Amino acid sequence: MSSTITIPRPDDWHLHLRDGVMLRAVVPHSAQDFARAIIMPNLVPPVRTGADAAAYAERIQAAIPDGADFTPLMTLYLTETTDPDDVEAAFAAGVITALKLYPAGATTNSDAGVRNFANAHGVFERMEALGIPLLTHGEVTAPDIDIFDREARFIDDVLDPLRQRFPRLRVVMEHITTRDGADYVASAPEGLMGATITVQHLMLNRNHMLVGGVRPHYYCLPILKRSTHQDALLSAATSGNPRFFLGTDSAPHPTHLKENACGCAGVFSSPNALACLAQTFEDAGALDRFEGFVSRHGADFYGLPVNTSTLQLERVETPQPVPAPIIVGEETVTVFDPIRPIHWRVIR
Ligand code: NCD
Ligand code: ZN
Ligand code: ZN
């Protein structure tokens, strides 16, 4: 029996496109399925100013295949020297959609991130006044805090105090990985807080990464947690709660730097994210909630119209193979392997 579902074209509310040859290789894989994406600013050097964001947006535009319907929504990388006036001007001009907070040292290319949050209070104040969302990589970085506890500690030590001080600040907790994250976001006022959830955190837990051998392609940050957390994320994503929406966090790294003695953090899922998610929602008995999670809730949070164009997915009897690695210059990037059989494919 075959069946299809038709949904408004989805958006990806958390995406890494990189730059140069990598940018040109990965953009088509997002543009074929997603209408819009929030573009992460953790380049080297980071996207710090309105001028940086405008220049990066142009490089992305140049990499979008002819005829594709794809709009990059730009973000600035918050540093302790970010100028509130530059933020305001870039937002007013429609150059940026949000700012991204990386605690210094938390993840890939986060060295320029924030160490002393007091130095960013002027920016938070302006963002609160203008309704500019703050997107957080929600992990503390102190070396004595266990990697599996870093998200929960971020909520208690950083996020909650920040929200008490700036109660109207709009925040998206990016790529939540714990029950603590899901519960915190669910308890916040609708419209003031949202959370993105990745495909891999819905489909996998840390056993998939660590039992029977270490699987470096599942290493990402925040790191996969135990299955009770996976269950909580799946409940949140399939609940119909508008605070939760898809951010793939598709984060390409060359295969040889993942399969390495000190492997990079990041999972590349743009090519098969939607097929994998359709399977996940079907397995959870929640296919009717799929459209909200991938096509509606994020647009509503950002105050943007739901896309009028549509995307079709088809259920197929034969499990679909994991897409082959993509070629990037002399290197490859390995695509997310969801382990379970995927009986869905996007009709392209
Ligand atoms: C991301 C990357 O590679 O840029 N990696 C990851 O594991 N998620 C950075 C990030 O989103 O934290
Ligand atoms: Zn992150
Ligand atoms: Zn990311």
Half-sphere exposure of 100 (CA within 13 A, CB side): 32
Supply the residue whose CA is at minimum distance from atom 9 of ligand 1. Answer: 108
Q: Residue 196 phi/psi, 5° resolution?
A: -95, 155
| Residues 290-347 pLDDT 10s | 999 999 999 999 999 999 999 999 999 999 999 999 999 999 999 999 999 999 999 9
| Residues 275-289 pLDDT 10s | 999 999 999 999 999
Tell whether the model's pLDDT for residue 247 goes beyond 70: yes
Q: What span, in angstroms and rounded, lies between the C-alpha atoms of 9 and 33?
A: 7
Question: What is the span of the domain harbouring residue 191?
Answer: 3-346
The number of distinct structural domains making up the chain is 1
Residues 6+ apart with CB under 8 A from 60: 17, 23, 27, 39, 72
In this predicted structure, what is the pLDDT of residue 106? 86
Q: Is the peptide bond between 338 and the residue preceding it cis, with omega within 30 degrees of 0?
A: no
User: What is the set of active-site residues?
Assistant: 249
Q: What span, in angstroms and rounded, lies between the C-alpha atoms of 44 and 108?
A: 10
Residues 6+ apart with CB under 8 A from 4: 312, 313, 314, 315, 347
Residue to mutate, 40, 220, 250, ligand 1, most ligand atoms under 8 Å from C-beta: 220
Q: What span, in angstroms and rounded, lies between the C-alpha atoms of 135 and 154?
A: 13
Residue 343 C-alpha to ligand 2 middle, in angstroms? 29
Residue 176 C-alpha to ligand 2 middle, in angstroms? 9
Do 265 and 219 contact (CB within 8 A), yes or no? Answer: yes
Tokens 């009986």 sit on residue? 343
Ligand 1 proximity of 75 Cβ (cutoff 6 Å): no
> If pLDDT is split at 50, 70 and 90, which confidence band does 2 have?
low
Residue to mutate, 107, 197, 268, ligand 1, most ligand atoms under 8 Å from C-beta: 107
| Residues 33-70 pLDDT 10s | 999 999 999 999 999 999 999 999 999 999 999 999 99
Instruction: Work out the percent of the chain whose per-residue pLDDT is above 90.
Output: 97
Question: Which tokens go with 210?
Answer: 């660590």
Which atom of ligand 1 is nearest the CA belonging to 109? 4
Q: What span, in angstroms and rounded, lies between the C-alpha atoms of 38 and 302?
A: 10
Q: Residue 202 phi/psi, 5° resolution?
A: -80, -30
Ligand 1 proximity of 249 Cβ (cutoff 6 Å): yes
Residue 315 C-alpha to ligand 1 middle, in angstroms? 31
Which atom of ligand 1 is nearest the CA belonging to 14? 11
Question: Which tokens go with 84?
Answer: 């509130």
Among all ligands shown, which has an atom nearest to the Cα of 108?
Answer: 1
Supply the residue whose CA is at minimum distance from atom 12 of ligand 1. Answer: 107
For the residues 190-202, what does the mean pLDDT come to? 98
Other residues' Cβ atoms within 10 Å of the Cβ of residue 169: 19
Tell whether the model's pLDDT for residue 1 goes beyond 80: no
Supply the residue whose CA is at minimum distance from atom 6 of ligand 1. Answer: 266
For the residues 239-266, what does the mean pLDDT come to? 98
Cite the DSSP H helix spans in the chain: 20-31, 50-63, 84-92, 121-130, 150-154, 160-165, 179-187, 199-203, 206-210, 227-237, 255-258, 273-283, 287-291, 297-302
Provide DSSP, 175-227.
S--SHHHHHHHHHSPBTTEEEEE-HHHHH--HHHHHTTS--GGG--SSPP--H
In this predicted structure, what is the pLDDT of residue 108? 84
Ligand 1 proximity of 16 Cβ (cutoff 6 Å): yes
Ligand 1 proximity of 42 Cβ (cutoff 6 Å): yes
Q: pTM higher than 0.95, yes or no? A: yes
CATH of the domain at 102: 3.20.20.140
| Residues near ion ligand 3 (Cβ under 5 Å) | 249
Which atom of ligand 1 is nearest the CA belonging to 220? 7
